[in-house]
């Protein structure tokens, strides 16, 4: 069952579908991300990467870069194969903030910089966070994986 945050019906703007994925060759190693944005019959693909990085950083970066494409508040359905991303935004982040960005082991939250950036971008929108099983035939997830892996190839 996909995790989701309640959406508000009065949220301004169009409904935008975002599909995103991150990948890494080695962990850490060169990494890439890919995302597809779909709204009102139009589709846009984005990708990029960095090195060195981790798979989790690329998963977060994919969502960040996709949300950066939105120029006004929207209702968003964001689909990813990253439980780290979905659970982070729907279950863990409130506790991290309450505990001064410490996790349940009282250690600093890994990738705090990206979580804070993502949180800031997400607050502009009404987002439903959906998880899908990766490498399981979901066409947009497979395409995002291809974009992410191609971006790694350009980082070599």
- The CATH number for 138's domain is 3.30.420.10
**Which pLDDT band holds residue 37 (cuts at 50, 70, 90)?**
very high
What tokens appear for 52 in the block? 């060195």
How many C-alpha atoms does 106 have within 13 Å on its Cβ side? Answer: 0
Active site residues: 21-22, 59, 81, 135, 145
Q: 111 in a domain, yes or no?
A: yes
- Look at residue 14 in the predicted model and tell me its pLDDT: 75
Does the residue 9 lie in any domain? no
Examine residue 3 and state whether it is found in any structural domain, yes or no: no
- Smallest Cα–Cα separation from 66: which of 114, 31, 34, 103? 34
- The answer to the question of whether 145 is labelled as a binding residue is yes
Can you tell me the distance from the alpha carbon of 15 to that of 73, in angstroms, rounded to the nearest whole number?
10
What are the tokens at 60? Answer: 């977060």
pTM score? 0.90
Sign of CA dihedral 107, 20, 145, 87: positive
Assess whether pLDDT exceeds 90 at residue 58. yes
Binding residue per annotation — 59? Answer: yes
Q: Is residue 33 part of a domain?
A: yes
Q: Is residue 21 annotated as involved in ligand binding?
A: yes
Residue 32 lies in a domain: yes
Average pLDDT over residues 10-38: 90
Domain-embedded: residue 19: yes
The answer to the question of residue 142 being in a domain is yes
> What gap in Å lies between CA 108 and CA 104, rounded to an integer?
9
140 is in which domain, residue-wise? 15-153
Assigned domain for 62 exists: yes
Counted domains in the chain: 1
């Amino acid at each position: 069952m996909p995790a989701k945050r309640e959406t508000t019906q009065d949220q301004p703007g169009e409904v935008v579908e975002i599909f995103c994925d991150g990948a890494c060759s080695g962990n850490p190693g060169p990494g890439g991300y890919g995302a597809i944005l779909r709204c009102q019959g139009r589709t846009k693909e984005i990708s990029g990467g960095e090195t060195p990085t981790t798979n989790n950083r690329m998963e977060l970066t994919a969502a960040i870069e996709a949300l950066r494409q939105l120029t006004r508040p929207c209702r968003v359905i964001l689909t990813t194969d990253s439980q780290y991303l979905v659970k982070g935004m729907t279950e863990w982040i409130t506790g991290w903030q309450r505990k001064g960005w410490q996790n349940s082991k009282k250690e600093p939250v890994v990738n705090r910089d990206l979580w804070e950036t993502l949180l800031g971008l997400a607050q502009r929108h009404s987002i439903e966070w959906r998880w899908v099983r990766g490498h399981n035939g979901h066409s947009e997830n497979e395409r995002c994986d291809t974009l992410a892996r191609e971006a790694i190839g350009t980082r070599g």
